[in-house]
Structure 1
């Protein structure tokens, strides 16, 4: 070749082929790339420019490039494969076939690895040349690269190429250096890069290259490059490129040159991950099976601590992201039993559907077997249909409480109870045959509030009168036809009619069975700032968050919650914290520890509490320290109070089974927690004093946290349970809304600019067996991508779902209630159906 002015000066090649700078006999490093920079490259082709860029590739990519210079009869072909593997390890492999160039034909084989994070990556590349020429055949080189992306707008890189400075006969690949910077002054749509390239010992003879990349519209990109020397060679070179992308396929043409003729490059991309694509159709329609989304997705790796977040939180995040996605035009909701969803979460889902509609999405709900709660969610859709064989149990609300007092009498078991307040009736499930007047008063008030909200929301969404809804309630179980006549649904849907319905509802859109709001390639240089959601789900206890071995119920561990709050407050990427409480309470000490952790966290970050179905007693204790508390109108909240309960088993074990216990003591109160006999009068007074002191501390803390008069707190406390609307009236909560409303409140209070996008990440979810054995498991609950999690085999629940329900209803899911220690729990297992 003896002189390659064009190949030397093309901007993409100047980056990829720094070995051409010194000797005429130096072989080129590979096929010319479209305009790019060592600071910008983050695809499989990074192996030719900066191996550190392999860390940012993501799922597998395959590129084929063909280069041709007709004037100089030079041809090159390149094949590039790259991927980021689990654990953030980037890997790459490439083959380049070079012909012409005044050299013997040869092949370049390259391997590369990169490690690091999305902010900092280190990479190494190895290149080996193969040729019939014995000198060229022995050449090989090593590259080292670094990329630093501290912010969304800045990327810097440093590369050392051919660090071993190989020389074989007449051929050499001299060591060279590249320093690069990239900026995005207007977000991801425009990217600018500048590189300085020089050979070892020839810094004043280096070259500057400038790169421009622009995303005109989704799926269409333009690029340009300019290169010029700083020493004796001041020749200019230009290159222009245009790219057309579909989701998994892309095509780029780049052309440019200097004094050596026009050089043409064609690049073809195949990728496992979607790229932002040219939107020629009417958008996408997604199918969401709510029951499927709400199921637990554990698996073999859950034993190692790779569980994903609570399924309801996962679904909520999906719906919020889908609402903001301009590609999505419509959603089909399959509505059935909604496992794990009570009225508080049903209200959040109802509002989520309404937000989708407000964002221009068209929503069609298909009802399978639904009750009032599931219908409440589905009624928010633009159109609601039932199948001909759907079970529509839309018959009004009822509340039930199971009492085991009669069972205890038959067993000969009595219970010692110390409590404060006539409404702290948690123990009455074990001590009474029926509801007490206080319990009935609370249940009646809550049921009235829930019914009124149900009627108002459904009639507004369906544009029917309350009388029509109550008429439907009187039918017991509705047929699909009768539901249509009453206006509860828009018609009876046959499966083969669904496609036509969608065409009318969302004209021009097409069904996308693989749709996900996060399935496109991430173009940002760094991740978004985050809102950390710290869950307090299930019974509050000490230790780590886990699952109950009987009913599969969640246990919110104080250790896990406190550690998650601490890590969130220290994480500089976390803009604010949302404490998600869905708990009826539990141990007083554990609740106190969580409350103190919240107080500490809000010294450093905004903390907003979001209440789900229930945030009562210990659940409310945990939440009350937040800067703001948000609840749904039907959230079961309050129940401010404590109790202590202890069984006396002598009637069962002694009188019925012949067991005898004898105890020798050395102190008057040594047997105060003994479960054999009832308390003496002195013991009852001692325990009651203990409970009174704990209750006084509880309402004192509420008074301080909520800035309320202590007497006023006492008036609304004493174990009384309130619906969310009533709790707001009494000053126990600040706002009406669900999780996403709490997230918005956190953004605003933390001073996040309105236009800034934030990610939502769960910290502190319950984890697996092996990770817990090794100490507190990893905090970030969204490490594995969703496709990986979905591919894992499911672990069966400890008990079948039907048995789980029975265990919950009779109160057997909470054996901890009989363990020593003060309890702060909602008064009863209230079932509204």
Structure 2
């Protein structure tokens, strides 16, 4: 038995109990031999045998089966290992090992382990119990403690104490043993080197050194080697080699080795895992994914959202998917299903168009299938390699039109008048409520924007489809295209039946396999530490005070100043965040809230680069928030500017008093005590007082723009006064720095932070509105921990399910009634109209 134990000691890749054991005459064997590994390297379910701290890095469920055989020594061993990561940074493991052979008592080793920590630091504890028909060996048990520290991507350090309790059972003694280990990755994740020093307590000069090499030759093929030698009286050597073949959820490893004077030891390991591993690709066939834009862009709320488990904004989620899929070498093609773009207007549509072009530039093939589309949806699809329509597709590709709804006439019939104080003839936001038609200033702005948008649409579509502008104009004159007519005009490549899709994909992406559950980040992460990050802080929807939330009527989102400011503060303090991108998709809102966000941006950029990315709209308060950034990026058709403020107050006496018989009497002790009262119109003195307030706020607004953008104040006033510009025009006037979407802004942030070109970064959303329960102990989306108490008001305010049918919601939004904050006291900085371009 002593000779066999010595052989197990010398094999370099053995479990810690084997490699570190200073053998005593009555010491039993310690378990199944593992392929080459180290206490600093192990991060799979087998970690329980080596270093229980490694269980923290296992990931979703793993099952390993190991079989060991030594023909010369007639030794057999079998092991079953289970491991998984749980919520809260907790890892757990369980294993059963059976050992039997000539001259040895048969026994079973049962182990349990837990590990707690992060990707940088893990503490683990393991418990082992031996059971056997040999009474002297039965019930022998011990405890192990492990520590793994991974401070950087290239270094891992571990310390393990085995058999802390130094158990004794009959003639068998398990001395307390120590393992100090270090792992390095000098060339990234392709090559890993490890070194372990193993010794028993009181016998430090009799320890052993074990060296491990692990190499990822290509995805799915790994090689390993181990070498061990003694430092004391035992100078014997041992060597072990291993090879691993992996598919996504299944892998097999063979390891063979031996020691001086011993026979060849064979180990076969089989892995099953719920998480995918990098797979060996035979024949070069990659993956083809289906991307349903309509589905991906819809809110995924429901009951879980109330508990704080809702996901980030669907558009930000889609953008991240597209960026990661573009960089994924496994992906060779995408089927783009286009039937709707919820929550997407022309600014974001341009970003999606560019994302598809980037995917093609990266070597991916994109096939778009049109279901029911208009010009905006076709604009996105046109960027694909091939575009197909179904025989019954609805193709409303008939040119662009702008719609503005005014309810001034309705207000007159109701007997409601409005008091307005504003600066600039283009600050026309109140005109939806006060006029029956467009003002000349509003018409001028809309005509200019529509011209820009139409020109951009024609240029992008004709370039992508390789058709003339005249062909597109001919399609527009048709009204509603049939699929056959769209093919004749070159807008689509052909008609496609569902059963023909497979053949089309085979021609477009030869050898690739359709993966319905494809995800860019569903493979096991080999890195020792997480990547540095770019923090995206969203400012989505109407700007208001307090927390980011959803409208009670199921309308637009509300960007809360408190949430945004706290997210910026946490991003600037987080050492893993290299830079910040403020994603603005807002027409503005409350002036004070916009000012607070702007000041938070200024403070954040003192510590880290801050880049602003504008989506469909960044107007008024939305622009106010963005202008403090180091750089501002916008799409060519982003609604930008609307630099101005206004104050709006209804006078309801005509409706409530004259028509409904309601009476209000007011007693005051000061001339302006009821200046904000909604019963009567302003007096001439009150109008002048409020106008002076608005003028001062406007002067402060353009002053801040001139400072932030380094522009002459008079020049800012000339392009301000409430005027809305397309993104390309805003750049010409100095309001924007560059044309591009969120991906371009992230790249700009990366460059500003001086991140090396080869370093991979993660994108993380900070400050996204989540379910109401998640906000009760802190900010929603900033700290997603479950709160200690509930706030019924928050629950009611953030009802996940819309209170009104979709059609009614649209009408409510058109007339501006989904924003009750418009009637609250305070200055407003908001885009001048609810604009729809289709």
C-alpha separation between the residues in 2 aligned to 1:19 and 1:132? 26
Instruction: Please state if 1:311 is matched with 2:328.
Output: no
Structure 1 residues 269-325: Cα deviation after superposition (integer angstroms, max 9, x where no partner): 000011001011421100000011001112333222222110000000000100011
The alpha-carbon deviation at position 795 of structure 1 amounts to 5.6
Q: 1:580 aligns with which of 576, 579, 583?
A: 583
Mean Cα displacement is larger for which, 478-487 or 305-314? 305-314
Instruction: Please state if 1:373 is matched with 2:367.
Output: no
Residue in structure 1 matched with residue 124 of structure 2 by the alignment: 123
Query: What's the Cα RMSD here?
Result: 1.3
The alpha-carbon deviation at position 102 of structure 1 amounts to 3.0
Q: 2:631 aligns with which of 628, 631, 639?
A: 628
SS class of match (1:757): coil
Residue in structure 2 matched with residue 272 of structure 1 by the alignment: 274
| Residues 238-317 of structure 1 mapped to structure 2, 5 A cutoff | 238-258=239-259, 259-281=261-283, 282-317=285-320
Residue in structure 2 matched with residue 711 of structure 1 by the alignment: 714
The answer as to whether partners of 2:370 and 2:393 remain within 8 angstroms in 1 is yes
C-alpha separation between the residues in 1 aligned to 2:7 and 2:784? 51
Instruction: Please state if 1:198 is matched with 2:199.
Output: yes
The answer as to whether partners of 2:642 and 2:831 remain within 8 angstroms in 1 is yes
Instruction: Please state if 1:347 is matched with 2:350.
Output: yes
C-alpha separation between the residues in 2 aligned to 1:18 and 1:10? 7
C-alpha separation between the residues in 2 aligned to 1:60 and 1:140? 26
The answer as to whether partners of 2:335 and 2:367 remain within 8 angstroms in 1 is yes
Residue in structure 2 matched with residue 798 of structure 1 by the alignment: 803
C-alpha separation between the residues in 2 aligned to 1:502 and 1:513? 14
C-alpha separation between the residues in 1 aligned to 2:744 and 2:648? 38
| Residues 198-217 of structure 1 mapped to structure 2, 5 A cutoff | 198-217=199-218
Q: 1:491 aligns with which of 489, 494, 515?
A: 494
C-alpha separation between the residues in 2 aligned to 1:270 and 1:799? 48
C-alpha separation between the residues in 2 aligned to 1:27 and 1:157? 26
Residue in structure 2 matched with residue 40 of structure 1 by the alignment: 41
Q: 1:407 aligns with which of 400, 406, 410?
A: 410
The alpha-carbon deviation at position 12 of structure 1 amounts to 1.8
C-alpha separation between the residues in 2 aligned to 1:801 and 1:228? 74
What TM-score, normalized to structure 1? 0.98
Residue in structure 1 matched with residue 835 of structure 2 by the alignment: 830
The alpha-carbon deviation at position 365 of structure 1 amounts to 0.2
Instruction: Please state if 1:619 is matched with 2:622.
Output: yes
Instruction: Please state if 1:2 is matched with 2:16.
Output: no
The alpha-carbon deviation at position 806 of structure 1 amounts to 1.9
Residue in structure 2 matched with residue 649 of structure 1 by the alignment: 652
The answer as to whether partners of 2:54 and 2:124 remain within 8 angstroms in 1 is yes
| Residues 363-442 of structure 1 mapped to structure 2, 5 A cutoff | 363-442=366-445
SS class of match (1:13): coil
C-alpha separation between the residues in 2 aligned to 1:598 and 1:721? 23
Residue in structure 2 matched with residue 809 of structure 1 by the alignment: 814
The answer as to whether partners of 2:335 and 2:368 remain within 8 angstroms in 1 is yes
The answer as to whether partners of 2:588 and 2:622 remain within 8 angstroms in 1 is yes
Mean Cα displacement is larger for which, 498-507 or 797-806? 797-806
What TM-score, normalized to structure 2? 0.97
The answer as to whether partners of 2:12 and 2:19 remain within 8 angstroms in 1 is no
The answer as to whether partners of 2:20 and 2:208 remain within 8 angstroms in 1 is no
| Residues 510-525 of structure 1 mapped to structure 2, 5 A cutoff | 510-525=513-528
| Residues 736-775 of structure 1 mapped to structure 2, 5 A cutoff | 736-775=739-778
Structure 1 residues 305-356: Cα deviation after superposition (integer angstroms, max 9, x where no partner): 2221100000000001000111111000000111000000000000000001
Instruction: Please state if 1:595 is matched with 2:594.
Output: no
Mean Cα displacement is larger for which, 801-810 or 604-613? 801-810
C-alpha separation between the residues in 1 aligned to 2:188 and 2:456? 44
Structure 1's unaligned 5+ residue stretches are 784-793
The alpha-carbon deviation at position 27 of structure 1 amounts to 1.7
The answer as to whether partners of 1:149 and 1:526 remain within 8 angstroms in 2 is yes
Structure 1 residues 376-428: Cα deviation after superposition (integer angstroms, max 9, x where no partner): 00000000000011100000000010001001000000000000000000000
Residue in structure 1 matched with residue 56 of structure 2 by the alignment: 55
Aligned residues: 823
Residue in structure 2 matched with residue 159 of structure 1 by the alignment: 160
Residue in structure 2 matched with residue 472 of structure 1 by the alignment: 475
The alpha-carbon deviation at position 777 of structure 1 amounts to 3.2
The answer as to whether partners of 2:61 and 2:85 remain within 8 angstroms in 1 is yes
The alpha-carbon deviation at position 18 of structure 1 amounts to 5.0
Query: Which 4+ runs in 1 deviate beyond 6 A?
Result: 780-783
Residue in structure 1 matched with residue 796 of structure 2 by the alignment: none
The answer as to whether partners of 1:333 and 1:364 remain within 8 angstroms in 2 is yes
The answer as to whether partners of 2:20 and 2:179 remain within 8 angstroms in 1 is no
Mean Cα displacement is larger for which, 116-125 or 304-313? 304-313
SS class of match (1:752): coil
Residue in structure 2 matched with residue 144 of structure 1 by the alignment: 145
The alpha-carbon deviation at position 778 of structure 1 amounts to 4.6
SS class of match (1:461): helix
The answer as to whether partners of 1:414 and 1:648 remain within 8 angstroms in 2 is yes
Residue in structure 2 matched with residue 97 of structure 1 by the alignment: 98
The answer as to whether partners of 2:9 and 2:20 remain within 8 angstroms in 1 is no
The answer as to whether partners of 1:530 and 1:576 remain within 8 angstroms in 2 is yes
Residue in structure 2 matched with residue 357 of structure 1 by the alignment: 360
The answer as to whether partners of 1:20 and 1:26 remain within 8 angstroms in 2 is no
Structure 2's unaligned 5+ residue stretches are 787-798
Mean Cα displacement is larger for which, 101-110 or 552-561? 101-110
C-alpha separation between the residues in 1 aligned to 2:728 and 2:61? 51
Mean Cα displacement is larger for which, 340-349 or 253-262? 253-262
Structure 1 residues 636-686: Cα deviation after superposition (integer angstroms, max 9, x where no partner): 000000000000000000000000000100000001000000001110000
